[in-house]
Amino acid sequence: MASATNSGSTTAGSIAVREAGAPGELAGPGTGRMVSQPADARQVATASYDVNDFAVPHGREEDWRFTPLERLRGLHDGTFTTVGSPTVEVDAPAGVVVETVGRDDARLGKAGTPVDRVAAQAYSSFEKATVVTFPKELAPGEPVVVRTRGEGATGFGHLIVDVGRFAEAVVVLDHGGKATYADNVEFLVGDGAKLTVVSVQDWDAGSVHLGHHVARVGRDATFKSVTVTLGGDVVRLFPRVVFDAPGGDVELYGVYFADAGQHLEHRLFVDHDVPRCRSRVAYKGALQGADARTVWIGDVLIRAAAEGTDTYELNRNLLLTEGARADSVPNLEIETGEIAGAGHASATGRFDDEQLFYLQARGIPADEARRLVVRGFFAEVIAQIDLPELRERLMERIEAELEASV
Amino acid sequence: MATLEIRDLHVSVEAENGPREILRGVDLTVKQGETHAIMGPNGSGKSTLAYSIAGHPKYTVTGGSVTLDGEDVLSMTVDERARAGLFLAMQYPVEVAGVSVSNFLRTAATAVRGEAPKLRLWVKEVKEAMDRLQMDPSFAERNVNEGFSGGEKKRHEILQLELLKPKIAVLDETDSGLDVDALRIVSEGVNRVRDTGEIGTLLITHYTRILRYIKPDYVHVFAGGRIVESGGPELADKLESEGYEAYTGVKESA
Ligand SMILES: Nc1ncnc2c1ncn2[C@@H]1O[C@H](COP(=O)(O)OP(=O)(O)O)[C@@H](O)[C@H]1O
Ligand SMILES: [Mg+2]
């Protein structure tokens, strides 16, 4: 919120600006931190479909330092015991093709190679993949809903959403039940196509979910995602975007609400490596209760070839109680001087008592006033969900989370 | 007839080096239908009095009493006070991101009236009240106080006064930061509410300017955390010509 202060949490940000071929990096304005890796680190980092190509993380690695490895039930080091994958059900309007395929399907892995050990683990271990195809120019008007329900076991998943050129698609990924789950989701957005994804992580208590999304965005294509993470003991999502051709337009929104003991982590990476693409990132989180923990990493890389890039990312966190901790690390690396715009903002603030007083002074009881403020805090992101019923359901879920603390 | 009674009120705030007493024995009775002006220099404790009546958690009452029709106001929560009929128009209204004016007003009216106003009547009621305050209808869709000009904030406060119809209204420097036009519009709003005869008004101000539009029945001079002199409207004229020096030893105009 406007009056948020940087208190009670670590908030770090950096902008590295580097001309192609220039030797060093400059720290960005007002951020006070250099990037911790060379700008081309991602090009040389491990990328593989095989889990054995990745070292087991121990917690000091940059990508893992915020994550409670001991709570991952062995998804990161191979000590997990696989019992069974969650059930996946798909509701799709006419014209959309839904298939369940084996590991040898030629369409697997087209969006991008895993760059994370758990993503590679999921890739190495899943048995069946779901492929949802929107043939070219199809615009069904109704969303596809992919329901993933955990039944208590440890499992792996793979989903491909392939949107043909000039098709217009809305896909809801609805995760629930109890699971220990790692998966890869590939979004292929064809030239001129539009894909909107709403991914809801509302797992039962005791669940662990490590999810990896890669969107490959075609020429003049539009990709919008809204990530809503509410339930689960540990949820770590890694949404990535790569561009195939100029003219791509990407909006990544997110909402998360961490209760006592929950660890909710979102690590975004937008890789601008072609000219004239646009990206907007806005994630908002609320935290309440002892050891409620959120991590937000926003990596945006504008490579030398990506002239005319326009990017902005924002993360805001609202600490509703003592004992919660939000880490927020926007990280913008720029390797070309020819950009249209680049910026980031990050703030973490306590619940504003002055707002509460103002509303109460108008007769509104304290718990209702808190609801209004939290609803207001999330409103601009939730408003991005164009499905009114889902929007209302999520707001109600957020309010239910809030009730727990009032 | 509603009566707000303040007796020997002492209030402290938590300062860096421990509690600091700001109000040092305030005595005041405001009855429905009356308008009292409280005039005092900057820092004399006027806002502290206003906030203490409304129940702001930053202010600690260390002695005395505040009652509304005999009910102990000090034991009520902030929202209970508002529902009991107290209203504070704030000197610095607070921004509430993501909450629209229309949602805010309806939520407040529902709380204060004890039931949700009928939608059709309510829309009309708000629209007419906004028209009278010369507020554009688009205002209702903006977020509460977000990006409002000084004048818009004060109109919005008076809009709430008109809609919530309290028994006792405390207006804390509603005139500050207003140009002549806005001051007139806002004052007319206050006068419309006063003309119902159903409200007691505590008009807090530093300057006499607003008293040309809103005629008080009583004027109190506030200095050093208490009322140091009370009188009729003529007291304001005296302050206008002589300033606060006689009360504070410091030259400051009113
Ligand atoms: N929260 C606070 N902490 C410390 N001092 C305060 C606080 N609020 C008010 N004061 C002090 O109390 C005195 C009275 O303030 P205030 O009631 O705002 O006066 P006025 O409204 O008459 O200008 C001032 O000296 C001010 O600095
Ligand atoms: Mg004041």
Whole-angstrom distance, CA of residue B214 vs CA of residue B211: 5
Asked whether residue A105 carries a pLDDT value surpassing 60, the answer given is: yes
In a mutational test of the B interface, the residue from A1, A353, A359 whose CB has the highest number of chain B CBs within 10 Å is A359
Q: What sign for the dihedral angle of Cα A378, A379, A380, A384?
A: positive
Looking at residue A25, its pLDDT comes to 33
Looking at residue B53, its pLDDT comes to 98
Phi and psi at residue A289, to the nearest 5°: 100, 165
Looking at residue A43, its pLDDT comes to 46
The domains found in chain B, sorted by start residue, are 3-248 (3.40.50.300)
Residue A32, judged by CB atoms within 10 A of its CB (0-12, 13-18, 19+), counts as exposed
- Is the separation of the CB atoms in B36 and B227 below 8 Å? no
Looking at residue A24, its pLDDT comes to 33
Percent of chain A with pLDDT over 70: 89
Cβ <8 Å between B94 and A358: yes
Closest residue by CA, ligand 1 atom 2: B13
Residues of A in contact with B95 (CB under 8 A): 1-3, 355
pLDDT band at A405 (very low <50, low <70, confident <90, very high): low
Q: Please tell me if the CB atom of residue B1 comes closer than 6 angstroms to any atom of ligand 1.
A: no
Looking at residue B56, its pLDDT comes to 97
Asked whether residue A313 carries a pLDDT value surpassing 90, the answer given is: yes
Query: Residue B94 is nearest to which of A354, A364, A368, comparing CB atoms?
Result: A354
Query: Residue B95 is nearest to which of A2, A364, A375, comparing CB atoms?
Result: A2
Whole-angstrom distance, CA of residue B35 vs CA of residue B37: 7
Q: What sign for the dihedral angle of Cα B78, B57, B88, B152?
A: negative
Looking at residue A36, its pLDDT comes to 36
What element of type H or E holds B184? helix B180-195
A392, amino acid identity: E
Residue whose entry in the numeric block shows the structure tokens 């006068």: B191
Ligand 1 mutation target, pool B22, B58, B60, most atoms within 8 A of CB? B22
Cβ <8 Å between A375 and B79: no
B46: CA distance to ligand 1 center in Å?
Answer: 8
pLDDT band at A14 (very low <50, low <70, confident <90, very high): low
Nearest CA in chain B to A1: B97
Ligand nearest to the CA of B221: 1
| Residue B76 touches chain A, beta carbons under 8 Å | no
Residues of A in contact with B93 (CB under 8 A): 358
Asked whether residue A22 carries a pLDDT value surpassing 60, the answer given is: no
Looking at residue B1, its pLDDT comes to 84
Q: Please tell me if the CB atom of residue B176 comes closer than 6 angstroms to any atom of ligand 1.
A: no
Average pLDDT over residues A27-39: 33
Nearest CA in chain B to A363: B79
- Is the separation of the CB atoms in B99 and B143 below 8 Å? yes
Q: Please tell me if the CB atom of residue B22 comes closer than 6 angstroms to any atom of ligand 1.
A: yes
Ligand 1 atom at minimum distance from B44 CA: 22
Looking at residue A13, its pLDDT comes to 55
Taking one residue from A and the other from B, the number of pairs with CB-CB distance under 8 angstroms is 89
pLDDT in tens, B36-79: 999 999 999 999 999 999 999 999 999 999 999 999 999 999 99
pLDDT in tens, B88-122: 999 999 999 889 999 999 999 999 999 999 999 99
Cβ <8 Å between A372 and B103: yes
**Does the complex come out with an ipTM higher than 0.95?**
yes
Asked whether residue B175 carries a pLDDT value surpassing 70, the answer given is: yes
What element of type H or E holds B185? helix B180-195
Separation of CA B6 from chain center: 15
Residue whose entry in the numeric block shows the structure tokens 């409280």: B38
Asked whether residue A31 carries a pLDDT value surpassing 50, the answer given is: no
Looking at residue A354, its pLDDT comes to 94
In a mutational test of the A interface, the residue from B14, B53, B94 whose CB has the highest number of chain A CBs within 10 Å is B94
Looking at residue B250, its pLDDT comes to 82
Asked whether residue A42 carries a pLDDT value surpassing 80, the answer given is: no
Q: Please tell me if the CB atom of residue B12 comes closer than 6 angstroms to any atom of ligand 1.
A: no
Q: Select the more confidently predicted residue: B1 or A240.
A: A240
pLDDT, chain B, mean: 96
Which of helix, strand or coil describes residue B87? strand
pLDDT, chain A, mean: 89
pLDDT in tens, A226-270: 999 999 999 999 999 999 999 999 999 999 999 999 999 999 999
pLDDT in tens, A73-87: 999 999 999 778 899
A2: CA distance to ligand 2 center in Å?
Answer: 23
pTM of the model: 0.82
Separation of CA B249 from chain center: 27
Asked whether residue A27 carries a pLDDT value surpassing 60, the answer given is: no
pLDDT in tens, A213-228: 999 999 999 999 999 9
Q: Which residues pair with residue A188 across a beta bridge?
A: A162, A216
If one counts every other C-beta atom within 10 angstroms of the C-beta of residue A17, the result is: 20
A393: CA distance to ligand 1 center in Å?
Answer: 45
Ligand 1 atom at minimum distance from B51 CA: 17
Nearest to B126, CA basis, from B100, B146, B105: B105
pLDDT band at A8 (very low <50, low <70, confident <90, very high): very low
Asked whether residue A66 carries a pLDDT value surpassing 90, the answer given is: yes
